[in-house]
Every structure is written in C-alpha cells, then in structure tokens.
Amino acid sequence: MFETLILMLDATMRVSTPLIFAALAGLYSERAGIVDIGLEGKILGSAFAAAAGAAVFGSAWIGLFFGIMASVSLAMVHGFACITHRGDHIVSGVAINTIVAGLTVTLSMNWFGMGGQTPTLSGDSRFLSVTLPFADALANVPVIGLIYSELLSGHNILVYLAFAMVPVTYWVIYKTRFGLRLRAVGENPHAVDTAGISVAFIRYRALIVCGILCGLAGAYLSTAHNAGFLKDMSAGKGYMALAALIFGKWRPVPVLLACLLFGFLDAVAIRMQGVVIPGIGEVPVQAIEVLPYVLTVLLLAGFIGKAIGPKAIGRPYVKERA
C-alpha cells in the first residue's frame, strides 16, 4: 500500500511538472494584468520547437533553447496585441492557441514528413533521469529509502527546476522591485504610471518571463516526459494550469499545491484505468479527469473560499483624460 502511494506520488511529480511551469508562467502574466488563456498554445508551440530542435541538433539543451524562443515569441505576439494595441486578451490568447495547433502539425509534416510527429528522440537529445547521490545506497532503508530513491530521485532536471521555480517566483514577486511593480501594474496601472514607471515595459517583461516558463513546460513534454512531439500533445495542460492558477488564488505556494492536487488526480485517473471496483464496475476515468475543472468552478462560484484575481486584469491600460 505504502509502495503504491509512493509510486503514485512519483507519477504526480512527473505529471505536475508542466502544470507548475505553466501555472507559474500564468502567474507572472496575470499578476501583471494580462489574461493568459494562450498558455496552451505556448506550451504546444514550445513542445514542437524543442522536439524539432533536439532532433535536428541532437541536443536536448538546444531543443530547450528553441522551445523557449518559440514560446517567448508567441508571448510577444500576445503582448503586441494586448499591450501595444489594447486588444482583447481572450481573443488574442485563443487566436494563439488555434494558430499553434494547426501550425505545429503543418510544419512537422513539411519538415519531417512523419504525419505530424517529430522523429523519436534518444540519448543526448532527451532530458534523462538524474540519480541523486546515495539514492542506490539508501534504496533498501525502510520508508526513507523508498521516499528518497523512488520519489525524490530519478527525475530529469526539468522536474527539479519546476519545483525550484516556486520559491524563486515567491522571492521575485514579493521581495524584488520587479515583483512589486508587477503586482502593482496588475492592481492599479494608473498608480504605476503616475509613479513614473512605464506600464507597458513592465507588462512586456512579465510576458517574457511567462514565455520562458511556458517554453520549459513545452520542452519538458516533448523532450523529457515523452521522446518527441505528437499532435496536440499539450492536451489541455495550459487550461488546467490556468485552473490551478485560479485555484491557487494567484499565489506561488498555493498554486504549487493546486498543481500537485491536479497532478495527483491525473495520476489516480491513469492508475484507475481499467480497474474494476466490485458493485460499481469499471471506474469512469473521465469522472476523475474532470475533477480539477469542477473544483475550479466550485471555487469561482464561491463554495470553497473565494478567488479574487488582480483587479486590473484583462483591461488594457489607457491614460485617462483627467
């Protein structure tokens, strides 16, 4: 039983990683006042670019670089539409998602001719598991051995990076000048403008950070979790990350917990696949998979606490005629 739990938590960590990256990406963007429904598109775009780059150059790191570049470019398109031209954030985000969904398949057919996939990656062109020091030595120690060797050790570098990004984000958001301005710009951009700071510049920078984190999420999917790009491989992770962001009330640590909860539910769903429970029959996996969204709706409806987002979110900043 304990071993099963450890295995499920182990799976949770792996499944949660792209959610954590993407939800933190959304956190930077939304705390700065930019709604980011385009997380999904950025993840998918990055997954494709990373897999393509890794396949061509034979290095996961070069793939990661391409993934981040693709995602940041998409974030800049979003910024250009929403910040510079004061467009609707949702429309721009949905447009990005739609374009990327089509473009990735088209480009991969053209470049690799594999029916919308990229070549299977192996060796250095993937992020491989890292074995933490003493993991093998401790493997046989009861309880601790299992936790350390199975749960904590044996993930690839991006998993550790994702978890490390949480305290980093907390520090950036609450302890730095950039964080203070970022939070202010999402709450009351007028206050930022009259303090002599450019609203647009802060928002663009927030979107660059958002793009980098989405790039990591996408690269993780195609070059670490899987061994290549598959059509629509982001499979709604961007939306789930957005749900986790709201569930975590736009704060780094609660967002991490929400991602882990959603990841855990995902792991449960996978584990329960085909399992027959006496009296009920086969477990409907979809019922578990839908839970993150149901929980988010319940939260937004006010049944579990209250989710109050940044005040100026989704509103383009226009200097008022005083």
Partner 1 sequence: MTNKTTPYAIELQDISKRFGAVQANKDICLQVPAGSIHGIIGENGAGKSTLMSIIYGFYEADTGHIEVDGKRVDIRSSQDAINAGIGMVHQHFMLVENFSVLENVILGAEGGALLKGGVDAARIELQRLAKEYSLDIDVDAIVEELPVGLQQRVEILKALYRGARILILDEPTGVLTPQEADHLFRILKALKDQGVTVLLITHKLREIMASTDNVSVMRQGQMVAHRETAKTDKEELAELMVGKKVRLTVDKGEAKPSDVFLSARNLSQFDSQGVKRLKNVSLELRAGEILGIAGVSGNGQSELLNVLSGIEPMGEGEIHIAGQVITANAPKNAAQMRELKMAHVPEDRHKMGLVTGFEAYEAAVLGYHNSDTYNGKVLMDRKVMVDECNERMAAWDVRPPNPHLKTANFSGGNQQKIVIAREVEQNPDILLIGQPTRGVDIGAIENIHEQIVKLRDSGKAVLLVSVELDEIMALSDRIIVMFDGAVVGELDAKDADERTLGLMMANAYSEEKEEVPA
Site residues, partner 1 (CB under 8 A): 174-181, 183-184, 187-188, 190-197, 311, 319, 321-322
Minimum distance, C-beta of residue 175 to partner 1, in the bound complex (Å) = 6
Residue 33 DSSP symbol: T
Residue number, 167 or 284, with CB nearest to partner 1: 167
Output the CA–CA distances (angstroms, integers) from residue 23 to 20, 191, 199, in the order listed. Answer: 5, 27, 23
Minimum distance, C-beta of residue 230 to partner 1, in the bound complex (Å) = 41
Minimum distance, C-beta of residue 204 to partner 1, in the bound complex (Å) = 17
Minimum distance, C-beta of residue 259 to partner 1, in the bound complex (Å) = 24
Residue number, 47 or 172, with CB nearest to partner 1: 172
Residue number, 190 or 231, with CB nearest to partner 1: 190
DSSP assignment of 87-148 = --HHHHHHHHHHHHHHHHHHHHHHHH-SSS--PPP-GGGSPPEEPPTTHHHHTTSTTHHIII
- Residues 255/74, Cβ–Cβ less than 8 Å: no
Which residue matches tokens 């958002």?
Answer: 210
Minimum distance, C-beta of residue 180 to partner 1, in the bound complex (Å) = 6
The Cα–Cα gap between 197 and 32 comes to 13
Residue number, 3 or 177, with CB nearest to partner 1: 177
Residue number, 106 or 198, with CB nearest to partner 1: 198
Closest CA to 220 of 63, 111, 28, 69: 63
- Residues 248/300, Cβ–Cβ less than 8 Å: no
Minimum distance, C-beta of residue 321 to partner 1, in the bound complex (Å) = 7
Closest CA to 263 of 26, 20, 1, 2: 20
Residue number, 91 or 191, with CB nearest to partner 1: 191
Minimum distance, C-beta of residue 311 to partner 1, in the bound complex (Å) = 7
The Cα–Cα gap between 143 and 148 comes to 9
Residue number, 287 or 304, with CB nearest to partner 1: 304
The Cα–Cα gap between 83 and 98 comes to 20
CB atoms within 10 A of CB 191: 13
